[in-house]
Amino acid sequence: MNIPRILLAALKGGSGKTLITVGLTAALRKKGLSTSVFKKGPDYIDAGWLSMAAGRPCYNLDQYLFSSDAVLNSFATRSGNSDIAIIEGNRGVFDGIDSQGSSSSAELAKLLRSPTVIIIDCMKMTGTTAALIKGCQEFDPELRVEGIILNRIRGTRHEKVVRESIKRVSAIPVVGVVPAMTLKNFPQRHLGLLPIQEHPAAKDFVEEAASIADNSIDLDQILRIAQMADDLCKPSFNQKDTENISLSPRVRIGVLKDSAFQFYYPENIEALTSRGADIIEISALESRPLPTVDALYIGGGFPETNAQRLADNLVFKDSVRLFVEHGGPVYAECGGLMFLAKTLVVDNNEFPMAGIFPASSVLNKRPQGLGYVELRARASNAFFRQGQLLRGHEFHYSTMILDHIDQESWPFDVLRGHGVDGAHDGLQVRNALGTYAHVHALSEPSWADAMIRKAREFHKAQETNT
| CA quadruple 23, 25, 26, 27: dihedral sign | positive
Instruction: Please answer whether residues 61 and 122 qualify as being in contact, where contact means their C-beta atoms are separated by less than 8 angstroms.
Output: no
In the set 58, 122, 136, 334, the catalytic residue is 334
Instruction: Please answer whether residues 78 and 36 qualify as being in contact, where contact means their C-beta atoms are separated by less than 8 angstroms.
Output: yes
Coil/strand/helix, residue 207: helix
Nearer Cβ to other proteins (95/267): 95
Nearer Cβ to other proteins (143/225): 143
CB of 100 to other proteins, least distance (A): 8
SS3 content of the chain, % helix, strand, coil (to 5): 35, 30, 40
Distance CA 419, CA 396 (A): 9
CB of 382 to other proteins, least distance (A): 32
Nearer Cβ to other proteins (123/247): 123
The neighbour count for residue 113, using CB atoms within 10 Å, is 16
Q: Tell me: cis bond preceding 291? Omega within 30 of 0 counts.
A: no
Distance CA 28, CA 14 (A): 23
CB of 80 to other proteins, least distance (A): 31
Distance CA 70, CA 239 (A): 7
The neighbour count for residue 461, using CB atoms within 10 Å, is 14
CB of 159 to other proteins, least distance (A): 11
Distance CA 352, CA 340 (A): 10
* Alpha helices by DSSP H, 170-291: 202-216, 219-226, 266-273
Backbone angles phi and psi of 448, in degrees to 5: -65, -35
334 is catalytic: yes
Name the β-bridge partners of 252.
278
Planar angle of CA 20, 21, 26, nearest 5 degrees = 100
Q: Which residues bind other proteins (CB under 8 A)?
A: 11-14, 91-96, 98-99, 101, 104, 123-136, 138-140, 160-161, 163-165, 167-169
CB of 42 to other proteins, least distance (A): 16
Nearer Cβ to other proteins (130/451): 130
Name the β-bridge partners of 256.
282
Nearer Cβ to other proteins (104/306): 104
Nearer Cβ to other proteins (4/42): 42
CB of 135 to other proteins, least distance (A): 2
Q: Give the residue numbers annotated as catalytic, written as ranges.
A: 334
